[in-house]
Amino acid sequence: MISWKKGKVKRVLNSAKDIQELEVEVDGLPGRAWNYPLLTGEALSNDHVYLNTTAVEKGLGSGGYHFVIANLSRIPDPCPGDGHIMKLRYTPYQVKVLSVEEEASPYHRQIKDFTSLQGIPVIVGTLHSMLAPAAAGCLAAGASPRIAYVMTDGAALPLSLSKMVRTLKAKGMLVGTVSTGDAFGGDLESVNIYSGLIAAYQVLKAEIIIVTMGPGIVGTGTKWGTTAVEQGEVINAVSVLGGQPIAVPRISFADPRPRHQGISHHTITALGQVALRDSILALPEVGDEQREVIDKQLEESDILSHHQVVVKDGRPALQYLEEQGIAVKSMGRTPQDDPVFFLAAGAAGAAAAELK
């Protein structure tokens, strides 16, 4: 169920084409809300709005933000543009997009004529916070490859929610984005992960592709009840299409939860049981004690039987981010708090750069 509250927009704090950050008043108390103009139209100061307050009330990971359900002060303008593919299908917010695959798309022929990814390196992560260090790892190698980001629908669906994507594009670290499945708002839209990868290669002319879900992740504390298992499915898709998957392991020695210490159970399940195709597993250079823990976990899983382990230095990625003035966090932790998490993503970037 959705918790509905009526609120009033006090101020528009930040406004872009695809997302607005609002200061709102709800039940006489101040709050903040995200508004997606594509779904609910532009919001202005003094507008009365209906808000979805569920996540804030439950203390979930939306950063303390409500979401605008409807604007009671104005009706959005009619949706412009071509396209007949619906995302968020059969919900009140089903949104029309021009997907790269459909005949009206200027890229239809390029998608239709696709034959192979021709061995292009595709970095496959889970958490959205792996994106920036992975891209930095590619670029720190000095070759300046064309990097495209493919966002799955395993977490946040609006790509515009990601401040990091906007930052990476502004810095020239990404040439473009593709939103797949029910995710929406990328430079290109695709129906599924397969056509999303093809679009990144054929249309964006990517030399390296990075795939992760958007901000947020679904987890239940159980082996199979997490959207992180999509990592294995994406590896399969990359391999089927002729690309070279490079897996980013989720590694932490700062997470207090035993299931995420060392190599996370998310990675062990996705690579050990879901991925049916081989991949390169990039590990960062770490100290002897941490290496012993990681090696033991790999030996006890089925990962080593069909994934090739490479060890790369992830530190240049973090240095590159620092030089660019890009601050990164994951689960509220910085590279100083949990260095190995970010080093793992940087190592994957370094591995991809070598294959480019």
pLDDT digits (tens, 9 = 90+) for 290-303: 999 999 999 999 89
Q: How far apart are CA 233 and CA 41, in angstroms?
A: 35
262 pLDDT exceeds 90?
no
Residue identified by tokens 């890229």 is 107
Q: How far apart are CA 356 and CA 354, in angstroms?
A: 6
Domains in the chain with CATH codes: 4-71 (2.40.50.220), 108-355 (3.40.50)
- pLDDT tens for residues 134-171? 999 999 998 789 999 999 999 999 999 999 999 999 99
332 pLDDT exceeds 70?
yes
- pLDDT tens for residues 21-48? 999 999 999 999 999 999 999 999 999 9
pLDDT attached to residue 233: 99
Give the DSSP H or E segment for 309.
strand 307-312
Largest CA distance in the chain: 62
**306: helix, strand or coil:** coil
Q: What distances in angstroms separate CA 32 from CA 21, 26, 53, 289, one per listed residue?
A: 7, 9, 10, 44
- pLDDT tens for residues 60-99? 766 789 999 999 999 988 877 789 999 999 999 999 999 9
Residue identified by tokens 């002897």 is 288
pLDDT attached to residue 61: 65
| Six token digits for residue 300 | 């006890």
